C-alpha cells in the first residue's frame, strides 16, 4: 500500500509532516457554505476514515472551528479520532471568518475577537495549545493583515499557538506578516486550472523563504467547495491513461511537482478516494507530461 510518505516531507516550523495531508471540511457535509452536497457521514465512520488516513501516513490535518453543519463539527470528529490514536498528527486550523450557531457568515472577526476563536478551537480539539493557526484573509481585497496577525502573534507569545501561517493571501501579505512573526505556511487555492499563486509570484516567494505552500481545492478546482466534477480535460485523461491513474491523482501529482515546498490537503469522505489521493504521492510525471499539462486544453475550445 502506498503511503503519504512517498511524496516526501516538509517542515511547518519544527513540525515535520508528509506533503500529502487531509482537509477535514468535507466530513461535515460542506463546512464552508452551511449547505451540503451530500449528508455528512456517520461519526464512527468519520473517525474510522481519519484513522485510515493516519495509518496510511497522513500526519497533517487541516480544519477550522467554522467547519460545521447542523449535524457535524470537523474539530469534534478530529478530537475523537486523535483521542484513540497514538501517533503524532499535526493539526492546522484557521481563524478570521466567523459564523453564528445557525451557520450564517458574520464576516471577518475583529483583531480583539481572534483570541475567542483560538480558544474555541482549543476547546473543540481538546488541546492546551494549537500546532499551527492560519489567519484566513480575503485574498486581493485585503488591504492589510497587520492588526489581525499581530493579535495572533501575541497569542503565540502567550503559548496558545506554536506556529503561525496565512490563508487566502497575496505576496504582500506574506511580506507584511513576516515583519511581525515567523510564517511557516501559506494556504491558498491552487491547481492545474487555478494558478493565480503562480501569476502573483506567491509560490516562488514561499520557496525562496522556505515557507510551505499548501494547496487546497487542488482536485475540485473552480468548483471549489463543491465535489469534484467529471474530468473534462483531455490532457489530464491522456496522462492518467499513461500511468493507469485517475484524473484526480494526476492533478495532485502535478501540484506536488511544483516544488518540494508544495503540500496538498485533499479532503474526502470516501475511503477509496482517500487511498487514491494518498497514492498520488507515488506518481512522478515526466517533463513531457508536465509540458503537455501546461498547454491550453484544446478539448475545451
What amino acid positions are annotated as catalytic residues? 67
Outline where DSSP puts E strands in the chain: 9-12, 15-18, 22-23, 60-62, 90-95, 97-99, 105-108, 130-136, 161-167, 185-189, 212-216, 262-264
Cα separation, 97 vs 117, whole angstroms: 9
Q: Cβ distance 13 to 182 under 8 Å? A: yes
Cα separation, 87 vs 192, whole angstroms: 33
Q: Which of 3, 38, 108, 37 is nearest to 66 (CA)?
A: 108
Which three three-digit cell numbers place residue 267? 479532503
User: 475523537: which residue's cell?
Assistant: 80
- State how far Cα 210 lies from the chain centre: 18
Amino acid at each position: 500500500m502506498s503511503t503519504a510518505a512517498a511524496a516526501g516531507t516538509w517542515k511547518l516550523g519544527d513540525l515535520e509532516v508528509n506533503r500529502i495531508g487531509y482537509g477535514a471540511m468535507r466530513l461535515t457535509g460542506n463546512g464552508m457554505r452551511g449547505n451540503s452536497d451530500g449528508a455528512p457521514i456517520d461519526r464512527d465512520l468519520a473517525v474510522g476514515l481519519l484513522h485510515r488516513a493516519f495509518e496510511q501516513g497522513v500526519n497533517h490535518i487541516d480544519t477550522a472551528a467554522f467547519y460545521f453543519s447542523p449535524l457535524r463539527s470537523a474539530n469534534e470528529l478530529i478530537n475523537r479520532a486523535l483521542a484513540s490514536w497514538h501517533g503524532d498528527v499535526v493539526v492546522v486550523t484557521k481563524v478570521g471568518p466567523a459564523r453564528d450557531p445557525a451557520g450564517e457568515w458574520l464576516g471577518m472577526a475583529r483583531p480583539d475577537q481572534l483570541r475567542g476563536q483560538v480558544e474555541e478551537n482549543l476547546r473543540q480539539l481538546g488541546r492546551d495549545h494549537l500546532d499551527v493557526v492560519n489567519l484566513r484573509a480575503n485574498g486581493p481585497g485585503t488591504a492589510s493583515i497587520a492588526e489581525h496577525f499581530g493579535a495572533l502573534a501575541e497569542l503565540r507569545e502567550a503559548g496558545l499557538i506554536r506556529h503561525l501561517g496565512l490563508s487566502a493571501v497575496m505576496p504582500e501579505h506574506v511580506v507584511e506578516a513576516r515583519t511581525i512573526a515567523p510564517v511557516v505556511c501559506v494556504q491558498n487555492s491552487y491547481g492545474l486550472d487555478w494558478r493565480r499563486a503562480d501569476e502573483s509570484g506567491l509560490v516562488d516567494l514561499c520557496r525562496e523563504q522556505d515557507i510551505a505552500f499548501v494547496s487546497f481545492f487542488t482536485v475540485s478546482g473552480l468548483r471549489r467547495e463543491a465535489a469534484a466534477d467529471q474530468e473534462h480535460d483531455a490532457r489530464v485523461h491522456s496522462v492518467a491513461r499513461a500511468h493507469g491513474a485517475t484524473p484526480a491523482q494526476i492533478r495532485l501529482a502535478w501540484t506536488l511537482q511544483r516544488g518540494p515546498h508544495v503540500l496538498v490537503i485533499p479532503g474526502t469522505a470516501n475511503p477509496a478516494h482517500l487511498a487514491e489521493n494518498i497514492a498520488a504521492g507515488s506518481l512522478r510525471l515526466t517533463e513531457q507530461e508536465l509540458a503537455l499539462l501546461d498547454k491550453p486544453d484544446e478539448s475545451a475550445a
